[in-house]
Amino acid sequence: MKLLIDAGNTRVKWALLDGDEWLRSGVLPVEQADELPRLFSRPQEIRQIWVSNVAGETVAQHIRNIGIGQSIPLHFVVAREIQCGVRNGYSQAGQLGSDRWAALVAAWHLVRRKCLVVSSGTATTIDSLSGQGEFIGGLILPGVALMQSSLVAATNQLKSAQGEYVPFPLNSADALYSGAIQASCGAIERQYSLLNDHGAPVVLSGGAAGLLQPYLNQKLFAVPPRVVDNLVLQGLLIIAQEASV
């Protein structure tokens, strides 16, 4: 069996697979990553572990502790110049985040054409693939929650409160929330327009994907933006499968 782990800034997502069949999956807050070894108390069932880790060395060590002493092959994915049909256009290929790389691999295998790949969690990344599977560049901006919390932390009069989306906010909580949604959607729509392909699909993933989808300008897209769960885990599986061939 394969264990796939997507360790992000806020959450650690995992899936246990037998071949291509997803047996179990789950999510942990990143602060509870030390529970991972206990989750897999019978590591003899696991033959390979494939990981995307952007959460730092402490989390990496917790992952290494899974099946410690069992000699389970452990693979921390790093972006390459070319892999699984995707070519990496980053100026230094290895500096592209492993989560972004795995998501690009998954998106390419999902649509096989020019597309925009958006992941919105702690940060929002907006990455573009050409029609030949080349990563041609992308943006990183604060996620919806981080935009709000950073403003609250940096100002004296703004207070933390959950707002709602309204086109013309009349209180600070709604103004913060609506501003974060509008800024995120505006960046996505702007980057999509730069693709200059009205038929290009948009693949959305991450914890805030469902928040953003309803507020994107649907008139821009020939095909409505699509939310895909576990995009990074799907990319890890594709990478693992190619390595096994």
Give the HSE-up count for residue 53: Cα atoms under 13 Å, Cβ half-sphere: 18
Q: Assess if residue 84 is contained within a domain.
A: no
Identify the domain containing residue 196 by its residue range.
110-231
- Co-location of 63 and 146 in the same domain: no
**Which helix H or strand E contains 23, and what residues bound it?**
strand 21-29
Residue 97 is assigned to a structural domain of this protein = no
Residue 217 has a pLDDT of 95
Residues 119 and 65 in one domain: no
In terms of domains, do 156 and 208 share one? Answer: yes
100 within a domain of the structure (yes/no): no
Q: Is there a single domain that holds both residue 216 and residue 152?
A: yes
The verdict on whether 18 is a catalytic residue reads no
Q: Does a structural domain hold residue 104?
A: no
Same domain, 65 and 132: no
Name the domain count of the chain.
2
Does residue 56 lie in a domain region?
Answer: yes
Rounded CA-CA distance 98/120 in Å is: 15
Residues 122 and 222 in one domain: yes
8 and 70 share one domain: yes
> 123 with 224, same domain?
yes
Handedness of CA 173, 175, 179, 182 (dihedral sign): positive
List the catalytic residue out of 99, 174, 197, 229: 99
Tens of pLDDT along the chain (245 residues)?
Answer: 899 999 999 999 999 999 889 999 999 999 999 999 888 866 567 889 999 999 999 999 999 999 777 788 999 999 999 999 999 999 999 999 999 999 999 999 999 999 999 999 999 999 999 999 999 999 999 999 999 988 888 877 777 778 999 999 999 899 999 999 999 999 999 999 999 999 999 999 999 999 999 999 999 999 999 999 999 999 999 999 998 75
Which of 89, 117, 92 lies closest to 102 in space, CA to CA? 117
- Assign residue 178 the CATH number of its domain: 3.30.420.40
Domain boundary among 76, 99, 129: 76
Question: Does residue 105 lie within any of the structural domains?
Answer: no
Is residue 244 a part of any domain in this protein? no
pLDDT of residue 155: 78
β partners of residue 88:
135
Asked if residue 55 and residue 9 are part of one domain, the reply reads yes
Q: Are residue 148 and residue 59 in the same domain, yes or no?
A: no
Same domain (yes/no): 129, 57: no
Q: Is residue 193 part of a domain?
A: yes
